[in-house]
Amino acid sequence: MNVVVSFSFKEEKVGVVEEFKKIAKREGRDKSKVLVDLIEQYVKEHSAGNPTFTLEQFQDPNFQAVPAYLSDKDKWISHYKNSTDKDKTKLRIQAVNFNKWFRMVDINQ
């Protein structure tokens, strides 16, 4: 069963919405499906566990902002490419640690 919802937007965004409709039609994609996919991605990236950082936190030399754990590959690759060599090493070590921790949980279940 489908659920119908509506939304509003500023008048200056009419062009963007019209362009969205044209692109979806050109690509043969259902507009509702595209919107729900975008909403799902937004929820995944901004749900609990992905806190908003304050400006004060960025002043702390020990603070490290990284993409949310479940962010898409492109965000992680961009973050990695823009990291220092020291931070790249930390990221690689942490990735190995995650794999070890998850295997330990799987073995002990």
The pLDDT confidence band at residue 52, using thresholds 50, 70 and 90, is low
Q: Assess if residue 53 is contained within a domain.
A: no
Q: Within this chain, do residues 105 and 68 fall inside the same structural domain, yes or no?
A: yes
Q: Where does the pLDDT of residue 59 fall: very low under 50, low under 70, confident under 90, or very high at 90 and above? A: confident
Q: What is the pLDDT of residues 88-102, one digit of tens each?
A: 999 999 999 999 999
- Which residue range forms the structural domain that includes residue 74? 64-109
Q: Are residues 71 and 36 in the same domain?
A: no
Quick check: is 36 in a domain?
A: yes
pTM of the model: 0.46
- The answer to whether residue 81 sits within a structural domain is yes
Q: Are residues 77 and 107 in the same domain?
A: yes
Task: With respect to residue 58, please indicate whether it lies within any of the assigned structural domains.
Answer: no
Distances (CA, A) of 81 to 65, 85, 97, 103: 14, 9, 20, 28
70, 99: one domain: yes
The CATH code of the domain that includes 16 is 1.10.1220
The 10s digit of each residue's pLDDT in 14-47 is: 999 999 999 999 999 999 999 998 888 877 766 6
Q: What pLDDT score does 64 carry?
A: 74
pLDDT for position 66:
80
Do residues 33 and 73 both lie within one domain?
no
* Phi, psi dihedrals of residue 100, rounded to the nearest 5°: -60, -45
- Whether residues 69 and 105 fall in one domain: yes
Token pair 């030399």 in the structure block, residue: 61
- For residue 60, what are its two tokens? 């702390």
* Structural domain total, the chain: 2
